[in-house]
């Protein structure tokens, strides 16, 4: 399958997953514990993919210069950190109806939460939409960069690994946006419209990278490496913003949440291992070519 067609398939599936996340409040009510377990799993997967998949590819694209990809990693982390600080968009909790509770979180699940957190109503859906839209566009850029790296630079599985993480995480962001709009009393028609617009953000980011950057990204491209490292930093920030609050607010479910976190990291580790094995196999057997990391001098030693 051509990289462009593969990218279109990924974007279509992510679009559908994002739409589904926004429709969850209309279908059924999630429990707080189930949502937090799912977020722990996805957070672990994002953490693992960022550090075990994206960062190694970025380092390879920049080798032997390690400082550059690490700097881009830090840049991605800080960018997403300040995005969340400005827009306050990364709030994940079970939906609640405004008639019964102004705080979507269950009170008995957060005995001390109100000493440290602002009520979610202070988080406007407009600010959440702005922050999540830019965040999703960056996800699309990372997805496109991974797919083109997989096609042009013989980096096997990098695109599918990033796709898995995005498609798992995107429904929760749509759920956040839909919940905020529901709590603020917005109509169902407006919520569906905004959800549909938000679902297009990842494809738009992927299209932008494909049109503007993909033609210039060749094998070992510093541009590709920079994008992947930046995405790794963003994934790291998103994962930690989802996971760190559990240390204070979810001690009662620490075993289940810790198990979900480790399961997510294990998934990322397995994908990274399979990718590395497939990359070595393809590089060693395709027309007698050497793996990209093996130098010409080594072939004569």
- Tokens at residue 265, please? 């990291």
pLDDT digit string, tens, across residues 218-239: 545 788 889 999 999 999 998 8
What digits encode the pLDDT tens for the residues 194-215? 999 999 999 999 999 988 876 6
Distances from the Cα of 223 to the Cα of 59, 162, 217, 218, 279, angstroms:
12, 17, 6, 9, 21
The H-or-E segment that residue 38 falls in is: helix 32-49
Average pLDDT of the residues in 110-125: 49
pLDDT band of residue 124 (cuts 50, 70, 90) is: confident
Residue 248 has pLDDT above 70, yes or no: no
Q: What one-character DSSP code corresponds to residue 289?
A: P
Work out the number of other CB atoms within 10 angstroms of the CB of residue 192.
16
CA distance 95 to 31: 8
Q: Where are the domains of the chain?
A: 3-100+116-299
Helix (H, G, I), strand (E, B) or coil at 153: coil
Q: Specify the pLDDT at position 119.
A: 44
In the prediction, which pLDDT does 32 show? 75
Q: How confident is the model at residue 35 (pLDDT cuts 50, 70, 90)?
A: confident
């Amino acid at each position: 399958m051509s990289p462009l067609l593969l990218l279109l398939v990924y974007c279509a599936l992510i679009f559908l997953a994002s739409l589904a996340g926004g429709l969850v409040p209309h279908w059924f009510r999630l429990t707080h514990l189930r949502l937090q377990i799912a977020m722990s799993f996805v957070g672990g997967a994002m953490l693992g993919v960022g550090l075990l998949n994206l960062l190694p590819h970025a380092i390879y694209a920049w080798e032997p210069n390690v400082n550059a990809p690490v700097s881009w990693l830090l840049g991605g982390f800080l960018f997403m950190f300040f995005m969340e600080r400005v827009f306050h968009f990364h709030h994940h909790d079970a939906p609640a109806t405004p008639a019964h509770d102004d705080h979507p979180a269950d009170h008995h699940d957060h005995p001390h939460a109100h000493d440290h957190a602002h009520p979610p109503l202070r988080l406007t859906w407009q600010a959440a939409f702005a922050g999540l839209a830019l965040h999703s566009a960056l996800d699309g850029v990372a997805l496109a960069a991974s797919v083109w790296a997989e096609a042009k630079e013989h980096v096997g599985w990098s695109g599918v690994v990033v796709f898995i993480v995005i498609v798992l995480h995107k429904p929760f962001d749509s759920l956040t946006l839909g919940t905020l709009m529901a709590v603020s009393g917005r109509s169902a028609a407006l919520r569906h419209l905004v959800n549909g617009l938000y679902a297009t953000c990842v494809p738009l980011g992927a299209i932008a990278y494909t049109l503007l950057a993909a033609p210039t990204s060749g094998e070992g491209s510093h541009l590709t490496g920079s994008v992947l490292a930046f995405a790794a930093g963003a994934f790291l920030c998103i994962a930690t913003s989802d996971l760190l609050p559990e240390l204070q607010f979810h001690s009662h479910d620490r075993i289940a949440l810790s198990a979900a976190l480790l399961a997510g990291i294990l998934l990322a580790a397995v994908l990274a291992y399979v990718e590395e094995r497939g990359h070595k196999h393809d590089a060693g057997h395709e027309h007698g070519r050497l793996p990209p990391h093996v130098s010409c001098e080594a072939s004569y030693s």
